[in-house]
């Protein structure tokens, strides 16, 4: 049985959206694969690593991964439970128009210079709204295209992305922290506990994480938990139970954090995701 399940959610000819689920059974590097087209991948559940040569990038809900046509890569799954991603493939003229020149390679063939970019909370919400509404069939073609293009612009835009100048060693250290957080997403970590697991001092880890990701470690972890909420809210009947299941101390704590990140309460987001065209 294949470790992948691919659902084609939308295709207008110039823009296609797929939902890709992976069982994550390959703990070590897979055999090399090659992308057939340049596209963007938005993980929304779980975590995996993508390896391009000696470089690697963490694929989690705080990032968009940038795949180039014809470029070889490998993946590994250091965390059990599998993963899920929303994949956006745009026509070359459309992507060239939307992508800032500084993110593209200086060559005739379209390609990105980077493996991944960190996205902000609004982009996370756009990923969830696009996926939920396409899955439910409650969105018109024009609206789906507009929402997808807004997501791409938001994710590639200079105001919301963060490109690090940190050393290779610091980036690998921070990658280990990300894997640790994803392995037990609902745990209420302390800095000392993370430092004990990873090695090094809490102060150094805090400084390294801030440099690599451009935001504090605690906020990064919070956004991962809130992104998991975006995935589960449309199917949740009890928001208090969901809050506790995601590691929040109470429903009010969860609701306040969710509203601060996404501009609406969990219940309001659920209504927008389920009744968009009702």
Question: Can you give the pLDDT at residue 107?
Answer: 77
Architecture of domain 4-105+112-156: Sandwich (2.60)
What tens digit of pLDDT does each residue of 87-102 get?
A: 999 999 999 999 998 8
Q: Which of 76, 152, 145 is nearest to 117 (CA)?
A: 152
* pLDDT at residue 1 greater than cutoff 50: no
Instruction: Return the minimum-mean-pLDDT range out of 77-91, 153-167, 216-230.
Output: 153-167
Question: Can you give the pLDDT at residue 109?
Answer: 84
Greater model confidence, 107 or 163: 107
What tens digit of pLDDT does each residue of 262-272 get?
A: 999 999 999 88
Q: Which of 193, 236, 227 is nearest to 59 (CA)?
A: 227
Q: Which two tokens stand for residue 18?
A: 């797929």
Q: Where are the strands (E) in the chain, listed by range?
A: 4-11, 15-22, 33-34, 39-45, 48-52, 55-59, 63-67, 72-76, 83-90, 116-118
Backbone angles phi, psi at 18, to 5 degrees: -125, 150
What b/e readout covers 232-269, taking b as 16+ CB neighbours within 10 angstroms? bbbebeebeebbeebbbeebeebbebbeebbeeebeeb
Model confidence at 277, pLDDT cuts 50, 70, 90, reads very low
Radius of gyration from C-alpha coordinates of the chain = 18
The C-alpha atoms of residue 80 and residue 166 are separated, in whole angstroms, by 28
The C-alpha atoms of residue 124 and residue 44 are separated, in whole angstroms, by 8
Would you list the domain boundaries of the chain?
4-105+112-156, 168-274
Residue range 57-82: mean pLDDT, rounded: 94
* pLDDT at residue 276 greater than cutoff 70: no
Q: Which fold has domain 168-274?
A: Arc Repressor Mutant, subunit A (1.10.10)
Backbone angles phi, psi at 203, to 5 degrees: -65, -45
Asked whether this chain's domains 4-105+112-156 and 168-274 adopt the same fold, the reply is no
Residue range 134-160: mean pLDDT, rounded: 90
Residue range 201-219: mean pLDDT, rounded: 93
- Sign, Cα dihedral of 135, 139, 141, 142: negative
Question: Can you give the pLDDT at residue 134?
Answer: 95
């Amino acid at each position: 049985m294949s470790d992948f399940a691919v659902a084609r959610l939308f295709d207008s000819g110039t823009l296609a959206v797929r939902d890709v689920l992976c069982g994550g059974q390959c703990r070590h590097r897979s055999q090399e694969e090659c992308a057939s087209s340049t596209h963007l991948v938005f993980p929304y559940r779980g975590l995996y690593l993508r390896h391009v040569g000696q470089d690697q990038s963490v694929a989690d809900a705080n990032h968009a991964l940038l795949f180039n046509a014809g470029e070889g890569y490998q993946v590994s799954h250091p965390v059990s439970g599998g993963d899920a991603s929303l994949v956006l493939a745009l026509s070359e003229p459309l992507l060239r128009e939307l992508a800032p020149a500084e993110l593209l390679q200086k060559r005739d063939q379209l390609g990105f210079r980077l493996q991944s970019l960190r996205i902000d909370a609004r982009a996370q919400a756009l990923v969830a709204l696009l996926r939920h509404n396409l899955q439910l069939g409650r969105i018109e073609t024009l609206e789906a295209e507009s929402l997808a293009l807004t997501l791409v612009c938001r994710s590639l835009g200079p105001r919301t992305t963060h490109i690090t100048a940190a050393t290779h060693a610091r980036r690998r250290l921070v990658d280990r922290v990300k894997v640790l957080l994803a392995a037990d997403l609902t745990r209420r970590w302390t800095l000392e506990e993370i430092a004990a697991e990873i090695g090094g001092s809490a102060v150094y880890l805090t400084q390294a994480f801030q440099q690599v990701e451009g935001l504090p470690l605690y906020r990064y972890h919070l956004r991962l938990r809130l992104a998991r909420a975006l995935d589960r809210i449309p199917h949740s009947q009890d928001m208090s139970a969901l809050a506790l299941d995601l590691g929040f101390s109470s429903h009010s704590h969860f609701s306040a954090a969710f509203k601060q990140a996404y501009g609406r309460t969990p219940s309001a987001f659920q209504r927008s995701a389920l009744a968009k065209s009702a």
